[in-house]
Structure 1
Amino acid sequence: MQHIHSDIVIVGGSTGGCAAALAAARMGKRVVLTEEAAWIGGQLTSQAVPPDEHHWIEHHGCTRSYRAYREHVRSYYRQFFPLRESEKLKPLLNPGNAMVSRISHEPRAAYAVLKAMLAPYEHSGRLTVITGVVPVAAETDGDNVRAVTVRRLADGERLVLTAPYFLDATDCGDLLPLTGTEYTTGAESVKETGEPHAMQGAADPMDMQAITHCFAIDYIEGEDHTIARPKDYDFWRQYQADFWPEKQLSWYSPKPRTLEKVEYALFPRDGLFSLWNYRRVIDKNLFEPGTFQSDITIVNWPQNDYWLGPVIDVSPEERQKHLEQAKQLSLSLLYWMQTEAPRPDDKQGYPGLRLRGDVMGTEDGLAQMAYIRESRRIKAEFTVVEQHLSPEIRGEQGAVRYEDSVGIGYYHIDLHPSTGGRNYIDVASLPFHIPLGSLLPIRMNNLLPACKNIGTTHITNGCYRLHPVEWNIGEASGALAAYCLDRGISPRSVRNDKAELADFQKLLTKHGVELAWP
């Protein structure tokens, strides 16, 4: 059994995990970063979710390193792709021209950029990246983690990782149960949190947001790229949830904000919302003719949200069942679109839709990992609740400005249908801050969250889970661990000592982390 020692072990190569590694390595620390998938990057790469961002993102509202990531993506396409001359000159190039993002781009481009950003630290030996491994055990001594064991998926070999600090940057908060760290899952009750949109009645720890197994497609008119009929197609073809206005495999779903029935279109027509343009990652018209046969779009739509059961805190068999069913739903959606979907010309199906596994780096054509919207969440020194950022409650005061802010973010509270059979919860929020207290477990001393597993609730997770916020969380956690190693103090001491907190916030500011909204 191999043993690896470093200054900081980051388990989970998510978007937040990559940002944490970047921050810690930049501060001179030896870092080990592990990841289950073949690609690091999480929702940006292996889960294939184009960045969901706010409309101020080009000017403020994210960290300097996240903005650098975005500019590196633009440079990647400018340098290596035959863009039209008019597009090369655009400072805010958006490769996919998607509705959802000002910089929609391919998952494999995201992976290339993240690898390049981390390359100086990997090449120098300061950062070790280990992919294809999962955490399976941990050793603790009281309130401290001493070691984490990961298992290679390829051969079962185990690696024991030791360090003074451990960061959980997995999308499900996998280190929390292994280390005995106190955490919560699912939906809290109004009685617990006082949040206007929390559960009426008892809390439900198994009521979690839907997962989605994304995939990429293009469209070649006149060709037939119909996949084999998925084994669960008959089930999904007839499935309709009680809270859904039509069968899930249809062009209809509830409008998230109002829950009224809304019709979508695949391609733009008649003023309907175009699913094709929604998460498009390549707009072929930006490139020289012949570069791309077609646009490429990511299918992360209402039609392939999977809510029939949670994948957290269930048996391995139950988890695998739901992950497989989520895949079957996505494949069934594609097959339905290729063979039976109604068209405006009164025909059925679009056989020219082509599954693009090369975009995902997979043989089955789907993303390497399911998109996980909601993680286990630490029981934290401080928990962000809806009252801190609700415009209905806060009004012109704006969101609560925490004295221990370690970053900022913005997105509306966006909860997808849940495993408890609840529909969308989509309500407004205010530009918010990230309190250091939400990164501190109530008991553990040297374990920090670096992903979607911070001290939020089921409700506030809905606005803290997006790409730039997760990046900021990871960057703050990586910097905090490095800062504590340099000072010989604990993360809790940083928050509790005004002078230390001020020095840490100065460090974050120096590295381009915005602590307050302008």
Structure 2
Amino acid sequence: MDTPLTFTEPARELEVSAEYDVLVVGGGPAGLTAALAAAEDGLKVGLLESRSFVGGNMTIGLPVLGFLGQKGNQVIYGLPQKFIDRLKVRDAASEHRPCPLHMGITLVEPEAVKTVGLEMLTEAGVDVVFYTFVAGVIMSDDGSAIRGVITESKSGRNVVIAKVVIDCTGDADVAYRAGVATEKGNEHGGMQPPTLMFCLSNVDTEKLRTSIAVEKRTYLTDFIPAEYFGQNNQFIVVGLRELIAKARTERNLEIPNERTIIITGLKKGEVWINMTRVTGTDGTDARSLTNGEIVARRQIDDIVEYLVNYVPGFEDAHFTKTAPFLGIRETRRIVGRYTMNEQDVLGCRHFEDAIAVASYPIDIHRPGDEGCTLIWCGDCYDIPYRSLLPAHIENLIVAGRSISATHEAMGAIRVMATCMAMGEAAGRAAGIAVTQDILPSEVDIHALRRKLLDNGAYLRGLEGERLTPETEDVSVPA
């Protein structure tokens, strides 16, 4: 095997382009709320985002999942709810609607997410910098803390300094570069395949809805009863497996998914399709991501042909746009001070250091086949603060799908509303740490929980009751 060609980059001095109390890296659902939460304490907060907009996966046509629990109650409030409320002012968000499969769906208008998110950040005084990648980190002499992050942009290579860094990249990019131990995928390293969402217009969603509701013996959906479609004008369709099988046989179509997944948009006649699937894609590898984009775009033509010729309501539909990037379900997860596991989710576990409550089921798009694993716990489960803290880096907090969790637990906590709740907790923890001049691991958990509750977040007691700042101190049995 030939020895790879290498070059030695000359050492150079890097200019410090900014200095913050709290630096948030990544402007997706977690990063957005983390920055807003930290800024509410009057701290100097910076947000670095590699794209030209904030919102992350909220901008690719997916509904926001996770606001409602499996018992129909709302389990995410606080800043995530305030964000939805701001979208509603623009008629750019729906109510939180119960869904038999996803527990709850909240439809959002992708372009409005970008605008409203940026508005809220600038109003809060967050210094937002787009088109900027984190290329490395500068560590303290003993390797226990991040002194700054190295950025790469059109402006060149610079350093940003911060007292506390919050990694909301979704891929644990900062944590990984700081030497934090990380894991990927299942026991074989297989990661959930990504999807390139795309949009069709001029769809007769009423025809689609009533065809399922009335002809329920013909058009079968996964876990969602036909009666649901008779009661909801905006909805998600998951299933119609028999129609895909028919299209494959009759037209020799290559459809990479065993289920039809249709999400109605807020605009009349608009739907988003969640059916491309590129197995083997590594969201932390540029060439793998590039191949994923190439393959996913090739898949769209056959999927559209299937929809137009086999699914009621799509007869006159036409393609309008693809999402701005692949929707990545899974990459790196940090090894933190506690690793959430499958039994924590399925056992509806309480934690004394809970900073968020979630209820979304374990939802794993299996790496090895076309299928999906769905397991419900029947209620809610807590997310512990320790899972946001890397094991050995003291001034770093991680929020979003790359927290310390197993492959199975990550399949449950990865949805957007839950990531937003984790982001808010991370931002408020960072605020306490900077204000008191302590490390994030030294933050008094009861003070953090009370601060979350003071600001409208949802935490639960042992009987499922909603806690208040006065009832926050819950002793969880060992």
Q: 1:10 to 1:50 in 2, by over 3 A?
A: same
Letter of the 1:3 counterpart: S
Offset from partner CA, 1:490-517 (integer Å, 9 cap, x none)? 22222xxxxx222221111111121214
1-structure distance, mates of 2:78, 2:307: 44
- 1:60 equivalent to 2:36? Answer no
Look up the match of 1:227.
none
Helix, strand or coil at the partner of 1:27: coil
Letter of the 2:202 counterpart: Y
Helix, strand or coil at the partner of 2:456: coil
- 1:506 equivalent to 2:478? Answer no
Look up the match of 1:178.
177
1-structure distance, mates of 2:434, 2:197: 39
Per-residue deviation at 1:186?
Answer: 1.5
Equivalent residue runs for 1:261-410 within 5 Å: 262-264=241-243, 275=260, 278-284=262-268, 295-301=269-275, 304-312=276-284, 319-339=285-305, 343-344=309-310, 352-356=317-321, 366-390=322-346, 394=347, 399-410=348-359
Letter of the 1:134 counterpart: F
Look up the match of 2:148.
147
Helix, strand or coil at the partner of 1:136: strand
Look up the match of 1:428.
376
Per-residue deviation at 1:170?
Answer: 0.3
2-structure distance, mates of 1:345, 1:264: 7
Letter of the 2:358 counterpart: G
Look up the match of 1:239.
none
Q: 1:336 to 1:463 in 2, by over 3 A?
A: same
Offset from partner CA, 1:108-128 (integer Å, 9 cap, x none)? 02112212222312xxxx311
Look up the match of 1:226.
none
Candidates 10, 33, 38, aligned match of 2:47: 33
Q: 1:333 to 1:404 in 2, by over 3 A?
A: same
Per-residue deviation at 1:44?
Answer: 0.6
2-structure distance, mates of 1:340, 1:48: 20
Per-residue deviation at 1:354?
Answer: 2.3
- 1:474 equivalent to 2:423? Answer yes
Letter of the 1:159 counterpart: N
Helix, strand or coil at the partner of 1:263: helix
Candidates 109, 116, 131, aligned match of 2:112: 109
Equivalent residue runs for 1:219-258 within 5 Å: 219=202
Look up the match of 1:22.
36
1-structure distance, mates of 2:306, 2:345: 44
Look up the match of 2:365.
416
Letter of the 2:110 counterpart: P
Per-residue deviation at 1:339?
Answer: 4.8
1-structure distance, mates of 2:133, 2:358: 30
Offset from partner CA, 1:131-175 (integer Å, 9 cap, x none)? 1111111111121001101111xx361231101111110021111
- Paired residue total: 401
Look up the match of 1:192.
none
Letter of the 2:278 counterpart: Y
Letter of the 2:374 counterpart: D
Helix, strand or coil at the partner of 2:309: coil
* Contact 1:99–1:279 (Cα < 8 Å) also in 2: no
* Contact 2:336–2:387 (Cα < 8 Å) also in 1: yes
* Contact 2:281–2:292 (Cα < 8 Å) also in 1: no
* Contact 1:307–1:417 (Cα < 8 Å) also in 2: no
Look up the match of 1:199.
none
Per-residue deviation at 1:344?
Answer: 4.5
Letter of the 2:287 counterpart: K
1-structure distance, mates of 2:403, 2:450: 22
Gaps of 5+ in 2: 1-14, 205-218, 225-237, 245-257, 466-478
2-structure distance, mates of 1:176, 1:472: 20
Per-residue deviation at 1:263?
Answer: 2.7
Candidates 362, 383, 405, aligned match of 1:456: 405
Q: 1:137 to 1:212 in 2, by over 3 A?
A: same
Q: 1:220 to 1:298 in 2, by over 3 A?
A: closer
Per-residue deviation at 1:15?
Answer: 0.6
Question: Aligned-residue CA RMSD in angstroms?
Answer: 3.3
Q: Which moved more, 1:133-142 or 1:366-375?
A: 366-375
For normalisation by structure 2, the TM-score amounts to 0.76
1-structure distance, mates of 2:134, 2:371: 33
* Contact 1:338–1:350 (Cα < 8 Å) also in 2: no
Letter of the 1:138 counterpart: V
Per-residue deviation at 1:422?
Answer: 7.9
Helix, strand or coil at the partner of 2:350: coil
* Contact 2:241–2:259 (Cα < 8 Å) also in 1: no
1-structure distance, mates of 2:107, 2:372: 24
Equivalent residue runs for 1:48-127 within 5 Å: 48-53=61-66, 55-56=68-69, 60-77=74-91, 92=95, 102-121=105-124, 126-127=125-126
* Contact 2:65–2:106 (Cα < 8 Å) also in 1: no
For normalisation by structure 1, the TM-score amounts to 0.70
Q: 1:380 to 1:130 in 2, by over 3 A?
A: same
Letter of the 1:408 counterpart: V
Q: 1:148 to 1:345 in 2, by over 3 A?
A: closer
